Amino acid sequence: MMERRTFVFVCSLGVLSAPLAAPAQQTAGKVYRLGVLSPGGTPDPSIPTVPNLLPTALREFGYVEGRNLVVDRRFAEDNFDRLSGLARELEQLHPDVIVAISGQAIQAARDATATTPIVMVISADPVARGLVASLSRPGGNVTGVMTVAENSLAGKRLELLKEAVPKAARIAVLASGPLASSSQLQEAQKAATALRIKLVPVEIRGTDYDRAFSTIVAERADAIFVLMGPTLVRDRHQIVERAAKHRLPTVTGNSELVEVGGLMSYGGSTLDSSRRAAIYVDKILKGAKPSDMPVEQPTKFELIINLKAAKALGLTLPSSLVKRADTVIQ
């Protein structure tokens, strides 16, 4: 059972769908085509993901699916190799705008078209990934919203984990890429020093999670800090199952891990990101150029706690921590 998440999702549908009459007049007589590209699986309609929330958010601006809006959705089902083909499929449908979720999807969409506007929803630095020239003037046909201010939140996630597990003295940092250059690790290290805990960096080699968790156990880690990254989201079931087996609490910035049994996540609000992406789509449909639209950074963050996972781990979380959660899964 999800408390608050269901409440927020249902309420958001009502709020977003309310002001239809006036904006709808601005788009009357034309049917717009929107492409949505995601590396994940087809989401359950009851879960507030960007693909689920975006069409609802667009209703606020008068775009109603089945009336003046066609939405073509493509999901890679966690197989990143499919993204290029799916992006080309979308482009062949001649969409007015493509909304691409995650760095891999954005890159695939950009490879498929240099002219169709692309609104990105990304949890990494798009400048560092070469997707835009700068946040203030992205250039090209790509703009959109960042869902996470990664560096500033890494330390906060570590603080939350320490609050949930006060006795934790050694915390494994799980990453899918080189940790030596990870800005998330650098930020977490500052917090670790203040919290008097030792971080144990563990890199995934390919998909060898058994080896990674053997290292985590051998290092006597008390908990796991899962870094942000699409590969770790894709492999969330493998991570959560192994963490549960070894009775290790997890914290991350990806809510998807908590939804399948992780303990906590702290990151950008999916509802807020969907609304902001809808604003970009609306502006582009009204003539704005992506090259001139600054990339937005997040302003709202959500703490999600899985009490069912806490119970399975034998943890009793502080009531003060649970009360601060935006979503509690039971």
How much is the pLDDT for 256? Answer: 84
Amino acid, res. 202: V
| Count of C-beta atoms within a 10 Å radius of residue 94 | 9
Distance CA 298, CA 123 (A): 10
What are 39-94's pLDDT values in tens digits? 888 877 877 789 999 999 999 999 999 999 999 999 998 788 999 999 999 999 99
Q: How many residues does the chain have?
A: 330
Q: How far apart are CA 77 and CA 43, in angstroms?
A: 10
CB crowding 138-164: b at 16 or more within 10 Å, else e: bebbbbbbbbbbbeebbbbbbbbbbbb
208 by DSSP, 3-state: which? Answer: coil
Report the predicted TM-score, pTM, of the whole model to 2 decimal places.
0.73
Question: CA torsion sign, 64 to 272 to 81 to 44?
Answer: negative
DSSP 139: -
pLDDT recorded at residue 28? 56
Element of type H or E holding 263: none
- Expressed in angstroms, the distance from the first to the final Cα of the chain is 5
Q: What are phi and psi of 224, to 5 degrees?
A: -130, 130
Q: What are the strands of the beta sheet with 32-38, ordered from one edge?
A: 69-75, 32-38, 97-101, 118-122, 142-146
Give the pairing of strands 198-203 and 170-175: parallel
CA-angle at 305, arms to 190 and 160, nearest 5°: 20
pLDDT bin (cut points 50, 70, 90) of residue 102 is confident
d(CA 109, CA 99): 9
Q: Which domains are delineated in the chain?
A: 2-148+269-300 (3.40.50.2300), 150-252 (3.40.50.2300)
Can you give the pLDDT at residue 247?
A: 97
pLDDT in tens, 147-184: 876 556 888 999 999 999 999 999 999 988 766 556 77
